[in-house]
Amino acid sequence: MHFTQVKKILIITLLLNWLVAGSKLFVGFMTGSLSILSDGFHSLFDGMSNILGLIGIKIAERPQDQGHPYGHRKFESLAALGIAFLILITGYELIKSTIERFANPKTPEITALSFAVMIGALIIDFFVSRYERKQGEKLKSAILVADSIHTKTHLLTTPTVILGMIAIKSGFPIFDPIMTALVILILGRLAWEIIGETAVVLCDRAFIDKAKINEIVQTVEGVSSSHQIRTRGDEHHVFLDMHIALNPKLSIKEAHKLSHILKDKIMKEIPQIKDVVIHAEPKM
């Protein structure tokens, strides 16, 4: 992964998110609209998640050391998990505000500026989400992909808020807390998706099909079979441990040579595998 490029993208996204957040919060406080404020805080937390991502990347780019022989890449997943918890905190605060608004109705003052800001913010969010997702897949960065998903939710929440603004302008102020409630549901779903994606990495879910490994093993002459195949890491950076059965008459040097042939072949055919540890055993 190109950590320097990932950090540059996060900084660009951070500045754009804060521009959008500042505009929404200004309009939200000016009009008294809870739904606009909720979307503004959503954008503000986008910026905070960018900062969290930068911290995660700074740690993740550290090379392997004695205390972390597998590197520091999981810190990136931890940062992504932190984004999910920020979303949950935002949702909790919005739930309290929504309940209060239902109990004490208030009619926000919606203006032409309100619509202009929200539509402009929607356009920026659209391009930011596409750019970040594309770069995340290109650079194989879990934090960029997770953050792009976060930003993409504005393509649902902001139009929802705009519809609520139209309803309020038409004389239905009750739509303000209703639309806020919808934003909260979208935020909850987003948090769940990010938690699910990061949990599989933190829990060392297998990303490589064992059958594929066995197919490669069968192409290496001298290796009888393989078993105890285990993988860990993330889908773009996998560590593989495995056992292979060899002819017991082979010398240590010959067994070592076969192991390296197999290792090189596996890493060539499955590029996301970055290291292979092979334990050779005599064929029974």
pLDDT at 228: 86
Q: What is the chain's alpha carbon radius of gyration, rounded to the nearest angstrom?
A: 25
Q: How does DSSP classify residue 230? A: E
Average pLDDT over residues 195-223: 80
- How far CA 48 is from CA of 40, 86, 91, 124, 147, in Å, comes to 13, 8, 15, 17, 11
Rounded-to-integer distance, Cα 124 and Cα 92, Å: 26
As a whole number, mean pLDDT of residues 163-184 equals 86
Other beta carbons less than 10 A from residue 66's beta carbon: 5
Q: What is the pLDDT of residue 120?
A: 93
- Residues 230-252 have a mean pLDDT of 83
The full set of domains in the chain, from first to last, is 3-202 (1.20.1510.10), 210-282 (3.30.70.1350)
Query: What pLDDT was estimated at residue 98?
Result: 81
Per-residue pLDDT at 250: 85
Q: Where are the strands (E) in 101-194, listed by range? A: none
Average pLDDT over residues 115-138: 89
First to last CA, the chain: 42
Q: Is it the case that residue 54 has pLDDT exceeding 90?
A: no
